[in-house]
Every structure is written in C-alpha cells, then in structure tokens.
Copies of this chain bind each other. A is one copy, B any other.
Amino acid sequence: MTYCLAIAVDEGLVFASDSRTHAGVDQVSTYSKMFAYARPGERSLVVLSAGNLATTQAVVRRLNRDWQTGAEPSLANTPTLEDAAEYLGEVSVELQRRSVEQSGQQNGLAVEATFLIGGQIQGQAPGIYMVYPQGNFITASPLHPFLQIGETKYGKPILDRIVSEQLPLERAATCALISIDSTMRSNLSVGPPVELLTYRRDSLDPGHYRAFQPDDPYFADLRDAWRDGLQQLFDQLAAPPLDPAAPTTS
C-alpha cells in the first residue's frame, strides 16, 4: 500500500509520501513515490504516485523522457497545471491499457494507478490535483485544501482538524508528517522513509526537501512528542457518565 498527500495553503504547497510497496505481504520493497520537475523561475511541479508499481514506474519513465526530450506535451511545456494533470492522466490511461493488452486479460488485471500533481507555473496560482486511474482529475477546495491517495483514512482525521488555507506552510508540513505517522502506526503496509517537499508560493524554485529515515532524530522526536502528548491529553479527559442498563432490550 501507499500513502501520499498534498496540502495547498496560502503560503504554498506541501507534498509528502511514504516509501513502502508490496506485491503481497511477502514482497515488500522501498521505492520513492515523489518526483519533482522544476525549471527555476518558470515552473516547479511535483508528482506523487500510488497503485500498481509497474504502471507508476512506466508513467514516470514516460514523464521523464518527455521532460528531457522536450516533447509536446510534457511537464516542461504544459501551459497550465490543468494541462499537466490532463497530460498525466492521458499517459496513465495509455500505459494501463497497454499493460492489459499485453497480458491478454481484458479483466481482472489490476494495473490501476492514481497520482497527485501540483506546483506552480509562472504567472499562475499554485495548485494541487488528483488524477484518477480513468485519467480524469479533481483539484482541492478552499474548505478542503488537501488531497490524499493510497491508504488515506487513518491519516485523515488530523488533517480534517488542523488543516486550513491559513495554516502556515511549515505547520502544514508538520501536519503532513503527523498524518503519515498515524497511518504508519495503524497500517504496516505504509512505511518509511517519509519524503517531504515544501514549495513556497511564487518562489518558482524546486522547494525544500527531506527524506526522513526511521532513525531521523527530528522525525523520531516528533513521533514521540505526538504519542506522549496524545496519551497525556487522553489521560486528562473525563470518563463518561453511565446509567444502569435496562435488563434487556429484546
């Protein structure tokens, strides 16, 4: 499984991802799911991937080839972020279809992949988009300024509680790490290293990045502080008042 998320706040964008992949529980590996495409001063884009690893790797190979050869379209020349999301969706659908055709199975071959793509292009606003396996896409809303792919539910409550467009960029980055920590805590199929990239609005630079290994001092301290703080917070809560139950409800 996988967990990736993107957060869009007024100050900029946050991208975060785990690095665990598995084909069954007996084939667990570590792959980066974060891919950055930047032309400083002109555009800065980040892609996060979830789903079938063969598909996501094939898609990223194509994105990289098109980026390097300057093909039209490519992430180097799409006029808008929406165009970049549409291009990514077209590549994804084409390569999924090819895998199914090669296999000869028309059904039952799970090659689906989902992507997040976000960033900023000169003269335009920053944005984040989720590209579905079918190639269509959505963006985030001001009331719900984040997008998630993969194993999304365990890490959603803290985002729902904390994230708003007004949240400072570095706080949004911290919240992304807590969201991933909660997910790793509850689901072994999501694991480190955790990659984090922050992009400051209008910088048009590659942003700031770090891959947190399990023994990363900051990440270890963060996880401990959150765990201990939750325990202390919980210990302060009042117990519920209860009445004797009726003999039976039947």
Residues of A within 8 A of B (CB): 32, 34-38, 40, 63-64, 67-68, 153-154, 156-158, 160-162, 170-171, 173-175, 177-178, 182-183, 185-186, 196-198, 205-210, 212, 218-219, 221-222, 225-227, 229-231, 233-234, 236-250
- Whether A185 touches B160, Cβ cut-off 8 Å, given contacts A174-B240, A222-B240, A236-B229, is yes
Q: Are A248 and B186 in contact, with the CB atoms below 8 A?
A: no
Q: Are A206 and B161 in contact, with the CB atoms below 8 A?
A: no
Complex formed: what's the CA distance from A108 to B248 in Å?
Answer: 36
A241 to chain B, nearest CB (A): 6
Number of this chain's copies in the assembly equals: 2
A111 to chain B, nearest CB (A): 23
Q: Are B170 and A240 in contact, with the CB atoms below 8 A?
A: yes
- Whether A208 touches B250, Cβ cut-off 8 Å, given contacts A178-B234, A186-B156, A186-B157, is no
Residues on B with C-beta less than 8 A from A208 are 242-245
Q: Are A225 and B243 in contact, with the CB atoms below 8 A?
A: no
Q: Are A36 and B246 in contact, with the CB atoms below 8 A?
A: yes
Task: Select one of B175, B212, B221, B239 contacting A238, CB under 8 A.
Answer: B221
A47 to chain B, nearest CB (A): 9
Q: Are B210 and A173 in contact, with the CB atoms below 8 A?
A: no
A60 to chain B, nearest CB (A): 8
User: What is the chain B residue whose CB lies nearest that of A250?
Assistant: B64
Q: Are A157 and B160 in contact, with the CB atoms below 8 A?
A: no
A28 to chain B, nearest CB (A): 20
Q: Are A229 and B233 in contact, with the CB atoms below 8 A?
A: yes
Q: Are B157 and A247 in contact, with the CB atoms below 8 A?
A: no
What would 15 A/B residue contacts be, using CB atoms closer than 8 Å? A32-B249, A36-B245, A38-B247, A64-B250, A68-B250, A154-B156, A157-B157, A157-B182, A157-B185, A170-B239, A173-B239, A178-B234, A205-B245, A206-B248, A226-B237
A59 to chain B, nearest CB (A): 12
A172 to chain B, nearest CB (A): 10
Residues on B with C-beta less than 8 A from A218 are 238, 240-241
Residues on B with C-beta less than 8 A from A198 are 242
Complex formed: what's the CA distance from A32 to B250 in Å?
Answer: 12
A208 to chain B, nearest CB (A): 4
Residues on B with C-beta less than 8 A from A207 are 245
Q: Are A248 and B173 in contact, with the CB atoms below 8 A?
A: no
